[in-house]
């Protein structure tokens, strides 16, 4: 007797994951022998700094690192995160109760909702937004309510509009922002924290791009705001800062109860981060600031070449202040973001990300990642000039 095996209902509700579909299209083009320039997925093309690799090599040789890791991670790692956070943001965190290492910030963001969201809880999600947020909230049973982000408000959610929502459990924010590359101010965070305390909702802040900023303008953390630790948890990542996307290591920090909820979920789901990777993380946090300045300079040069090149052919695009993305209105004459992405790939062999993949408010925009060398950016500009 045969029977059909089907996906769960919750899985059936999800659309295909945006970046998997983009990767599939890119591979098909490469298989055809085409010279593809990939401005799609935000994966740094620069190698992990050598001192981090060396720390990993040494740690791998130590048998003490071959066992299950403690759920909360090495005390030395949590202590080093606290030191780094204090130096970067002038905020003192308790490494025992306010910091928790995760298997990349994406994993932590995925598991947090399971610890704090009950079925049908209302969750505010900025639109557009990083696509990974939506399924994690859905899996936890939350009801997503989109909060539009408009260019006229610097792609920040309108605080007065947020105040109109009732019975909200959590708001998810992400600055520097993916996909818009927008940044938040301390004034915005202060107003948001005040509202969260008044209305009684949680703030989940994703700050994966905290160290990818331009023109010397350092993005603030929400935890710099008085009272933020009463309502907020923030996620940080080694991926973008230290070119460690494949290493899968990050951390959550902030409100003790929220950190504890995440820790309890994770203790039932995984056995911690491989300790050799944690040792590499400690080395990363001690990275010479010159290395990070060079990294920022590299991405800033690429930003300028792309922005100035596109402006020279008549495509006027604002220059981003942070993250390694350029968020641009689709060129005149193009119907929508999906059509734009298809034409760029079919006629110019350029992979870009359609804005609608980040939410309804992303329609009319496309995202380009600054993750290829300058010569490839210049080549991309030349190809774009031919199809505009």
- Higher-pLDDT residue of 30 and 139 is 139
Q: Look at residues 285, 314, 329 and tell me which one is the last residue of a structural domain.
A: 285
pLDDT digits (tens, 9 = 90+) for 174-192: 999 999 999 999 999 999 9
Same domain, residue pair 224 and 336: no
Residues 176 and 146 in one domain: yes
Q: Are residues 213 and 182 in the same domain?
A: yes
Residue with tokens 């039932």: 268
For 100, 226, 329, the CA distances from 50, given in Å and listed in that order, are 26, 38, 38
Q: Does 341 reside within a domain?
A: yes
pLDDT on residue 1? 60
Answer yes or no: is 38 within a domain: yes
User: What 3-state class would DSSP assign to 324?
Assistant: coil
- 3-state SS track over 363-382: CCEEEEECCCCHHHHHHHHH
Classify residue 3: in a domain, yes or no.
Answer: no
Structural domain ending residue among the three candidates 220, 253, 285:
285
pLDDT, position 303: 98
Final residue of a structural domain among 266, 285, 304:
285
Q: In what order do the strands lie in the sheet with 353-354?
A: 325-329, 365-369, 353-354
Q: How confident is the model at residue 71 (pLDDT cuts 50, 70, 90)?
A: confident
62 and 187 assigned to the same domain: yes
User: Average pLDDT of 79-83?
Assistant: 98
Structural domain contains residue 1? no
Q: Which of 239, 204, 193 is nearest to 133 (CA)?
A: 204
Q: Check whether 248 has a pLDDT greater than 70.
A: yes
Residue 289 confidence class, pLDDT cut points 50, 70, 90: very high
Bridge partners (DSSP) listed for residue 202: 170
Q: Compute the mean pLDDT over every residue in the chain, rounded to the nearest whole number.
A: 95
Spatial neighbors of 292 by CB under 8 A, at least 6 apart, are 211, 241
CATH code of the domain in which 310 resides: 3.90.1150.10
4 in a structural domain: no
Half-sphere exposure of 217 toward its Cβ, with a 13 Å CA cutoff?
13
The distance of Cα 334 from the centroid of its chain, to the nearest Å, equals 28
Looking at the fold, whether 30 and 133 belong to one and the same domain comes out as no
The helix/strand count (H/E) of the chain reads as 13, 12
Question: Do 127 and 75 share a structural domain?
Answer: yes
CB-CB contact of 45 with 371 (8 Å): yes
Distance of CA 156 to the CA centre of its chain: 16
| Higher pLDDT among residues 57 and 41, named by residue | 57
Tally the C-alpha atoms within 13 A of residue 235's C-alpha that lie toward its C-beta.
Answer: 27
Write out the residue range of the structural domain in which residue 16 sits: 9-47+290-387
Domain count, the chain: 2
Give me the residues paired with residue 252 across strands: 100, 235
Percentage of the residues of the chain whose pLDDT score is greater than 70: 99
Question: Could you tell me if 266 and 295 lie in one domain?
Answer: no
Contact 181, 322 (CB under 8 A): yes
Nearest residue to 161 via CA among 171, 141, 362, 355: 171
Phi then psi dihedrals of residue 234, to 5 deg: -130, 140
Q: Is residue 308 part of a domain?
A: yes
Does residue 2 sit within a domain?
A: no
How deeply is 314 buried, as exposed, middle or buried, from its count of CB atoms within 10 A (0-12, 13-18, 19+)?
exposed
Whether residue 122 sits in one domain with residue 232: yes
pLDDT confidence of residue 42: 85
CA distance 97 to 261: 11
Whether residues 268 and 298 share a domain: the answer is no
Confidence of residue 387 (pLDDT cuts 50, 70, 90): very high
Asked whether residue 320 falls in the same domain as residue 339, the answer is yes
φ/ψ (deg, to 5) at 343 = -65, -40
Per-residue pLDDT band for 41 (boundaries 50, 70, 90) equals: confident
Average pLDDT over residues 263-271: 94
Nearest to 252 by CA among 81, 20, 114: 81
Tell me the HSE value of 342 on the side-chain side, using a 13 A CA sphere: 6
Q: Shortest CA distance to 352 belongs to which of 375, 332, 329?
A: 329
Domain holding 220: CATH number? 3.40.640.10
User: Are 198 and 267 members of one domain?
Assistant: yes
Q: Is 269 among the domain residues?
A: yes
Residues 103 and 252 in one domain: yes
CA atoms within 13 A on the CB side of 362: 24
Beta partners for residue 213, in sequence order:
322
Pairing, β 122-127 against β 365-369:
unpaired
Q: Where are the beta strands (DSSP E) in 35-121?
A: 37-38, 99-102
- The Cα 124–Cα 196 span in angstroms is 12
Contact 124, 165 (CB under 8 A): yes
| Lookup: tokens for 317 | 């695009």
Tell how strand 202-206 and strand 325-329 pair up.
Answer: unpaired
Is the predicted pLDDT of residue 22 greater than 80, yes or no?
Answer: no
């Amino acid at each position: 007797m045969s029977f059909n095996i089907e996906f769960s209902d919750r899985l059936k509700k999800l659309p295909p994951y945006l970046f998997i579909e983009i990767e599939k299209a890119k591979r098909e083009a490469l298989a055809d022998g085409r010279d593809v320039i990939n401005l799609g997925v935000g994966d740094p093309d620069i190698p992990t700094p050598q001192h981090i690799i060396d720390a990993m090599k040494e740690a791998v040789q130590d048998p003490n690192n071959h066992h299950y890791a403690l759920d909360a991670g090495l005390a030395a790692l949590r202590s080093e995160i606290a030191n780094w956070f204090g130096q970067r943001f002038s905020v003192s965190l308790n490494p025992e109760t306010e910091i928790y290492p995760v298997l990349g910030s994406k994993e932590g963001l995925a598991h947090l909702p399971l610890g704090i969201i009950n079925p049908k809880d209302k969750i505010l999600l900025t639109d557009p937004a990083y696509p990974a947020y939506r399924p994690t909230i859905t899996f936890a049973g939350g009801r997503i309510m989109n909060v539009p982000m408009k260019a006229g408000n610097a792609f920040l959610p309108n605080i007065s509009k947020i105040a109109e929502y009732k019975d909200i459990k959590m708001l998810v924010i992400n600055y520097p922002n993916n996909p818009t590359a927008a940044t938040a101010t301390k004034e915005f965070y202060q107003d948001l924290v005040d509202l969260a305390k008044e209305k009684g909702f949680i703030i989940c802040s994703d700050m994966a791009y905290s160290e990818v900023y331009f023109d010397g303008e350092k993005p603030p953390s929400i935890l710099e705001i008085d009272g933020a630790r009463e309502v907020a948890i923030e996620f940080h990542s080694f991926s973008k800062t230290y070119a460690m996307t494949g290493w899968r290591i990050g951390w959550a920090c902030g409100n003790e109860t929220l950190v504890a909820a995440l820790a309890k979920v994770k203790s039932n789901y995984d056995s911690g981060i491989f300790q050799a990777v944690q040792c590499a993380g400690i080395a990363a946090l001690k990275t010479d600031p010159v290395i990070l300045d060079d990294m920022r300079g590299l991405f800033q040069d690429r930003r300028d070449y792309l922005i100035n090149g596109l402006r020279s052919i008549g495509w006027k695009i604002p220059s981003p202040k942070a993250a390694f993305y350029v968020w641009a209105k689709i060129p005149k004459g193009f119907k929508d973001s999906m059509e734009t992405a298809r034409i760029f790939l079919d006629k110019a062999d350029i992979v870009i990300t359609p804005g609608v993949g980040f939410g309804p408010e992303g329609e009319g925009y496309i995202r380009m990642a600054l993750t290829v060398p300058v010569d490839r950016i210049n080549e991309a500009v030349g190809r774009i000039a031919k199809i505009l």
